[in-house]
A and B are shown apart, each in its own frame.
Chain A
Amino acid sequence: MPDLTTSLGPLRLKNPVVTASGTFGFGSEWADFYDLSRLGGLTTKAVTVLPRRGNPMPRTTETASGMLNAIGLQNPGLEAFLAEKLPYLRQFDTAIIVNIAADRIEDFVTLAERLDGQAGVAALEVNVSCPNQACGGLEFGVDPALTAQVIGAVRAATTLPMIAKLTPNVTRIADIARSAVDAGADALSLVNTYVGTAIDTRTRKFKIANRQAGLSGPCIKPLALLAVWRVAQAAKAPILGMGGIMNATDAVEFMLAGASAVAIGTANFVNPMAAVEIVDGIEQYLSQTGAASVQEIIGAVQPAL
Chain B
Amino acid sequence: MRHSLTASILSHRDLGDAQFEMTVLAPAIARDARPGQFLQALYVGAGSPLMRRPFSVFRTDPEAGTLAIVYVARGAFTIGMSALRVGASISLVGPLGNSFEPDPRPDVRHMLVAGGVGAPPLYFLAREMVAAGHAPESICVINGARSRDLLVAGADFAAVGVTLRETTDDGSAGRRGTVADELSDQIAASGGCAVYACGPTPMLRAVASLCVEAGVSCRVSLETVMPCGLGVCMGCIIKLRNDAEPEGYTLVRSCHEGPIFDAAEVIW
Contact = CB atoms under 8 A, between A and B. Distances in A.
B1 to A, nearest CB: 5
Interface in B164-223: none
Give chain A's interface secondary structure class: loop
Interface in A238-284: 266, 268-273
A69 B3 contact: no
A61 B231 contact: no
Contacts of B233: 22-23, 60, 69, 71, 269
Give chain B's interface secondary structure class: loop
A53 B251 CA distance: 7
B225 A58 contact: yes
A54 B251 CA distance: 10
Interface residues of A, number: 32
Contacts of B91: 271
B93 interface: yes
Contact of A67 (B224, B227, B256): B227
A62 B233 CA distance: 13
Given A62-B49, A67-B50, A270-B51, A32 B1 contact: yes
B79 interface: no
Given A32-B2, A62-B51, A268 B232 contact: yes
A29 B256 contact: yes
Contact of B51 (A58, A59, A67): A67
Contacts of B3: 32
Contacts of A30: 230
A269 B51 contact: yes
A61 B49 CA distance: 12
* Chain A CB within 10 Å, residue with most, of B51, B52, B231: B51
A9 interface: no
Contact of A272 (B4, B50, B227, B247): B4
Interface in B222-244: 224-225, 227-235, 237-238
A54 B228 contact: no
A269 B227 contact: yes
A24 B224 CA distance: 20
A218 B2 contact: no
B235 A60 contact: yes
Given A32-B3, A61-B225, A269-B229, 4 more contacts: A29-B230, A54-B234, A66-B50, A269-B232
Q: Which 5 A-B pairs have the closest CB atoms?
A: A25-B232, A60-B235, A269-B228, A32-B2, A29-B231
24 contacts: A23-B228, A23-B232, A23-B233, A25-B231, A29-B232, A29-B256, A30-B230, A33-B2, A33-B4, A45-B234, A54-B237, A54-B251, A57-B224, A60-B227, A62-B227, A67-B50, A69-B233, A74-B234, A269-B51, A269-B229, A269-B233, A270-B51, A270-B52, A272-B4
